[in-house]
Structure 1
């Protein structure tokens, strides 16, 4: 999972948070730098058109059905309580966790099945965890043997063993933009959690200033792995770097609680990494999460949506279930809830990166495919109001949410009902944006003529009986 506030606090954060809190968490209020590279700016503009993406956390931890990586971190024991059968002591637990490599064999892995299902549901880019904080590489790195392609891992004998390559090539073929998630900290590496000292928290467990040669080896290790990902895996559109505690000490914001836990310098040399990635992949978007500056090309609220529109590029990463990693019998959000969240995000100018976690067999829970099929039905009717749109004031009024086409000639008004299963009302009334003089109005998914009129700065619409077929959210589209 991406960065945590303080153990359980961010995990239980509601989907809606105030823009003030959002700014404190993600340093949005200060430090954002618009990319100067025209290729990056172009890629970022295209990415903002996509609106809906797929996030996938997957690793050996799926075999235990536990939260990804975090149970290894002593400071997070309070909410990732280790099961006794997985190890009586901390060190037994770590040994058994890392030994999951020797049984990981997701033989049902079929990225084409995933790509087909999520493409129909309207997703247009994918971000895959090439390596999480536990250090297990889901790609064929030459820097470590702790990887899915190691001979220690049963799946290494499968022709699709390099799952990152298979996922990227499959989704790329289907027209998706490709994002590589990568954890800057690596809790398996002896150059980060040095075995000479016990780990205390998520941070490096030694002082890099006191042991500069060791830190240099870790920097080289990280650089080399990111060079592999950006050199050997085809076109990569997004480099999504997690673990924001690995950062120059001077960038720490003391107003942000979790950043106050960083006690030592952990400068990974993002200029060197970023310049290498841009050389390998011209125009690549780089997301150095929570570290404001030229390498955080967009910001990434987690399990949360800001209450107001933001003027900078942003993306909410939110789970379809309760967990970022696979958990048996997870509680998956309803299709209506997913669509409501998508509408809120795009009306405020953001993208929705929805996480779906594959299980140990290499496939999604069957419920996931049901949800994706339901979403695809809604998206087939309403996609013109979703993709390649931008936010427009008033953004949100009561149960109504607004987007506009990029050329400014089409206005989309989404009507939600979060209190119950959606039923389109017989009539609606909503505020028009300033200087809008409508010429035509339609309800997407309704073929019969719709009665409407403009009175002052409001529109009044009578919806025909066909409205009863509308699911999850109704969309009124106005042209001028």
Structure 2
């Protein structure tokens, strides 16, 4: 290859990168049609070890989900530009085969030499988080672990000689050292696998692109590939608490009911069954009590539900988790619009009061660092959680869980926590009122963040907690106030 030809190729790749970066910031690029809904039915697990771990997980309440992969290099929506559905945007000047070739080639550019998982773990702990979900592989098929099943992986590129090249192993260990529960996100679909997207055919949507009834040997090969990769994660990466399976359209056809059809995702005529019962049994041989979250596939392997970018309207009496990204995208996108700490705290309060947990999405940059805007928000969230986390951790929903902007949780000793959401733009009121969940007569209400004791009275059938002027001045900028008391 001549120097001139080489320079031309580099120039074309640079131009394409610029185009992708521009497109990644357009409003039409916002994720909307790849959102996983929440199943409306739930089946409790029967394994006592799973039930025990599920109860432990329900105590944690606040976790982090980290999307990090090839998509971080150009800063685009994670994986989805590879998918040909009408909500996806790609540069008009680039045909689909050329786009795929460019995307697969990002493997040779992903070298996150500032990667330091210990900093990530400390940042998450300081934010008040208690469990981790890390994307070991997203839909694009790029493995963030040292799989033997494919060379399309972080350990077979320019980062391969780094001492922490097997990033999943080092991330899990760093968070494990901080006493986090460890969750391995794994995408059931794999768009890089020729046994899922066969190059013989076009790729019209997210599903596998051939009739597997006609080519069962190809699908069986994909199933074995999937089983082998999950076995690697369950065998060689230390204690794993959660296997978080994404890509709910890869499912047995008999689980596609009217509810699933109403979500509007494309559904093929055949069953994309990868035999989750066998996966679960083998995984739990290595990881007893493992929680399996086969998202939206209701039944014994959806150990908790995962409404995405949403909060259920009412309290739920079974385990669930709202998946909320800090930005609009799950992965790193430059200049992505970020949610403010107050919004995240307000959502977390409502989620926990309704019986759920929140996992907050963060996308590290391609160099392996967490962005400054994310760090600022996580620090503010952590400052509030430090004083108020006791109102959320290890709690369960109160029978009467909400009155206006005051939400209630209950400790295992029976104490009630009243958490009132506030608006920074408004001055604190002289009192906070609610109905129901009355404190014990003659007792005071304790402010969790400071230990202050507040007086209360019952007036016109309502509890009225007085906030003296000195208190209102001290807490003027608080996004919420948490109070604890013994109920009557």
Please report the TM-score for the alignment, with normalisation by the length of structure 1: 0.91
Query: Aligned partners of 1:135 and 1:66: how far apart in 2?
Result: 16
1:422-464: per-residue Cα shift (whole Å, max 9, x none)? 6432211111238966733112234544221234753111112
Corresponding residue number in structure 2 for 1:473? 480
CA distance in 2 between counterparts of 1:448 and 1:52 reads 26
Question: Out of 218, 231, 235, which is 2:235 matched to?
Answer: 231
Match of 2:24 in 1: none
Correspondence for 2:176: 172
Aligned equivalents of 2:412, 2:174: Cα separation in 1? 30
For structure 2, which runs of at least 5 residues remain unmatched after alignment? 1-27
CA distance in 2, matches of 1:298, 1:429: 34
> Is the partner of 2:409 in helix, strand or coil?
strand
| Contact 1:423–1:468 (8 Å) recurs in 2 | no
1:261-410 map, 5 Å: 261-408=267-414, 410=415
1:11 is paired with a residue whose SS is: coil
- Structure 1 residues 263-272 or 230-239, which shifts more? 263-272
CA distance in 2: counterparts of 1:334 and 1:438, whole angstroms: 39
Q: How does 1:49-60 map to 2 (within 5 A)?
A: 49-60=59-70
Please say which of residues 461-470 and 103-112 is displaced more in the overlay.
461-470
Match of 2:21 in 1: none
Q: 8 Å contact 1:179–1:237 — kept in the other structure?
A: yes
**Is 2:83 aligned against 1:83?**
no
Deviation at 1:280, TM superposition (A): 0.9
**Structure 2 contact 242–291 (Cα < 8 Å) conserved:** yes
Q: Is the 1:438–1:478 contact (alpha carbons within 8 Å) kept by the matching residues of 2?
A: no
Mapped contact 2:67–2:134 kept (Cα < 8 A): yes
Runs of 5+ consecutive residues of structure 1 not aligned to the other structure: 1-7, 16-21
Seen in structure 2, the aligned counterparts of structure 1 residues 313 and 448 have a Cα distance that, compared at 3 Å, is closer
Match of 2:44 in 1: 34
Q: CA RMSD in A?
A: 2.1
Which residue number corresponds to residue 144 of structure 1? 150
* Aligned equivalent of 1:11, options 12, 24, 31: 31
CA distance in 1, matches of 2:112, 2:447: 45
CA distance in 2, matches of 1:213, 1:236: 31
* Partner secondary structure for residue 391 of structure 1: strand
- Structure 2 CA distance for aligned equivalents of residues 363 and 435 of structure 1: 47
Residue 72 (structure 1) aligned with residue 82 (structure 2):
yes
1:18 maps to what in 2?
none
Of 429-438 and 300-309, the range deviating more from structure 2: 429-438
Q: Select between 96-105 and 450-459 the one with higher mean Cα deviation.
A: 450-459
- Partners of 1:381 and 1:432 in 2: how far apart? 25
In structure 2, do the counterparts of structure 1 residues 382 and 113 end up closer, same or farther at CA, with 3 Å as the change threshold? same
Question: Which stretch shifts more, 470-479 or 137-146?
Answer: 470-479
Q: Deviations over 1:94-118 (max 9, x none)?
A: 0000000001011111111111111
Whole-angstrom distance in 2 between the partners of 1:163 and 1:270: 26
- 1:261 Cα deviation (Å)? 2.6
Alignment partners' CA distance in 1, 2:480 and 2:106: 43
What SS is found at the alignment partner of 1:332? coil
- The C-alpha deviation readout for 1:216-235, integer Å capped at 9, x for no partner, is 10000000000000000000
1:202 to 206, 218, 221: 206
The alpha carbon displacement at 1:243 in A equals 0.6
State how far apart, in whole Å, the 2-side matches of 1:181 and 1:318 are.
Answer: 15
The worse-fitting range, judged by mean Cα deviation, of 393-402 and 88-97 is 393-402
